[in-house]
């Protein structure tokens, strides 16, 4: 096929692309990890890897890893994406605890659109603690009674957090467990 | 006016993309099919991806930065901007960028909204991809 014929063949597709481009975007949400990685309480995968790059900046930090094991094949490039810098700090993470070449183990959610991205539910660097990266999932796991078996260090800002984003069922269970104070905020560790 | 310009850019990108795709398959056929033998080319399946549910966006008033959404594998797709929205421009310093490019680390296309230091603009971008299989 000549290049001219190729271009002629491409014209209908180009028109379709124009029509698609003129469509208004249906969703204009704020940064929402659940839109890209699934619900807070959904199943996680376990991943191990080596850090190859760190971008500690806003609007969200990211860490590139090359997988070495876990539920993903070894030797693949994946990007961990997470909170803005201030929220990472609130969760108890600092830039200095990550370095290129470090070994990481994590639990996380894969991107729902098949992109090579993971939102970490919890991260362990080298021989450090497995630290929570999402307080609402801590709440869900506490309410389900599975938190202790995960051996996750809870988010540094778990105590005093409003639990609404963990879902009504979790809020009701936490209340029943005596883990909400008079303002409805999370009490952790239990009194 | 902006939509017309965006549409023109999209049309040009898709034309060139398909042109390159066709060219690549032509090369494959030339290598595989002897001269004078009618080639039987496998049909190419084309589809469009949906936009990521959430735009790439940065609000400069809350801080500079670059936000991206990974799109699809660069091995079998070409992506194009479908949305550029700019708000909060008060002066020439309030700049921002929407960009679709291949991320070398993942090998995937990504759409990035970028607001530099000092800019108070809010930039929203999104993209779709044409995938062939």
Tell me the pLDDT tens digit for each residue of A133-161.
999 999 999 999 999 999 999 999 999 99
In angstroms, the Cα distances linking B68 to A137, A182, B23, B37, B94 are 24, 40, 30, 48, 20
Instruction: Provide the strand spans (E) within chain B.
Output: 46-48, 56-59, 65-73, 77-87, 97-103, 108-115, 122-132
Domain ranges of chain A: 34-132, 134-191
pLDDT tens, position by position, A28-43: 334 577 888 988 788 8
Which structure tokens are listed for A163?
């639990």
A-chain residues near B46 (CB < 8 A): 13
- Between B25 and B104, the more confident residue is B104
What pLDDT does B8 receive? Answer: 63
- Between B29 and A83, the more confident residue is A83
A14: closest chain B residue by CA: B11
**Residues B87, B115 contacting (CB under 8 angstroms):** no
Lookup result for tokens 């070894």:
A74
Q: How close B92 comes to chain A (CA, Å)?
A: 23
State the angle between helix axes of A3-22 and B2-32 in degrees (0 to 180), rounded to the nearest 10: 140
For residue A72, how far is the Cα from the chain centroid?
Answer: 16
Lookup result for tokens 């991806």:
B49
Are A7 and B15 inside 8 Å of each other by CB?
yes
Q: CATH for A34-132, among 3.10.150.10, 1.10.1660.10, 3.40.47.10, 2.40.50.140? A: 2.40.50.140
Q: Which of A1, A4, A6 is the best mutation test for B, with the most CBs of B within 10 A?
A: A6
Q: How close B70 comes to chain A (CA, Å)?
A: 6
Q: How far apart (Å, rounded) are the C-alpha atoms in residues A26 and B53?
A: 8
pLDDT tens, position by position, B43-77: 889 999 999 988 999 999 888 999 999 999 999 99
**Residues A65-74: contacts with CB under 8 Å, at least 24 apart:** A65/A104, A68/A103, A70/A45, A70/A46, A70/A105, A71/A45, A71/A46, A71/A47, A72/A45, A72/A47
What pLDDT does A27 receive? Answer: 30
What pLDDT does A21 receive? Answer: 42
Q: Is A64 on the interface with B (CB under 8 A)?
A: yes
Q: What is the mean pLDDT of residues A104-126?
A: 95
Helix or strand run (H / E) with residue B11: helix B2-32
**Residues A186, A163 contacting (CB under 8 angstroms):** yes
- Between A22 and A50, the more confident residue is A50
Q: How close A105 comes to chain B (CA, Å)?
A: 20
Which structure tokens are listed for B41?
């080319």
For A25, phi then psi, to 5°, come to -65, 135
Q: How close B34 comes to chain A (CA, Å)?
A: 16
For residue A165, how far is the Cα from the chain centroid?
Answer: 15
B-chain residues near A15 (CB < 8 A): 11
Lookup result for tokens 């809870």:
A154
Helix or strand run (H / E) with residue A6: helix A3-22
What was the ipTM of the complex prediction?
0.70
Which structure tokens are listed for A112?
């729902």
Partners of A69 in the β-ladder: A48
What pLDDT does B10 receive? Answer: 62
What pLDDT does B16 receive? Answer: 57
pTM of the shown model: 0.76
Are A18 and B11 inside 8 Å of each other by CB?
yes
């Amino acid at each position: 096929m000549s290049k001219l014929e190729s271009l002629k063949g491409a014209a209908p597709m180009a028109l379709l692309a124009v029509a698609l481009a003129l469509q208004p975007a249906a969703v204009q949400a704020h940064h929402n990890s659940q839109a890209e990685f699934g619900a807070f309480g959904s199943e996680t995968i376990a991943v191990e890897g080596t850090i190859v790059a760190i971008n500690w900046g806003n609007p969200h930090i990211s860490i590139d890893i090359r997988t070495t094991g876990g539920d993903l094949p070894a030797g693949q490039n994946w990007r961990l994406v997470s909170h803005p810098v201030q929220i990472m700090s609130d969760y108890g993470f600092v830039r200095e605890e990550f370095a290129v070449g470090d070994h990481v183990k994590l639990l996380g959610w894969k991107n729902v659109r098949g992109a090579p991205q993971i939102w970490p539910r919890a991260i362990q660097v080298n021989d450090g603690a497995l630290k929570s990266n999402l307080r609402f999932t801590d709440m869900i796991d506490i309410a389900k009674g599975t938190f202790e078996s995960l051996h996750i260090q809870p988010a540094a800002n778990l105590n005093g957090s409003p639990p609404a984003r963990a879902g009504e069922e979790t809020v009701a269970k936490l209340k029943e467990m005596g883990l909400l104070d008079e303002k409805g905020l999370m009490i952790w560790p239990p009194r | 006016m902006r939509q017309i310009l965006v549409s023109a850019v999209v049309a040009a990108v898709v034309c060139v993309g398909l042109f390159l795709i066709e060219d690549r398959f032509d090369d494959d056929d030339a290598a595989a099919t002897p001269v004078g033998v009618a080639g039987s080319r496998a049909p190419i399946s084309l589809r469009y991806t949906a936009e990521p549910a959430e735009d790439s966006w940065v609000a400069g008033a809350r801080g500079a930065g670059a936000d991206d959404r990974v799109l699809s594998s660069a091995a079998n797709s070409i992506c194009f901007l479908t949305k550029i929205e700019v708000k909060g421009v008060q002066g020439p310093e309030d700049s921002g960028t929407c960009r679709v490019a291949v991320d070398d680390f993942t090998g995937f296309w990504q759409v990035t909204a970028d607001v530099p230091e000092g800019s108070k603009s809010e930039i929203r971008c999104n993209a779709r991809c044409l995938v062939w299989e």
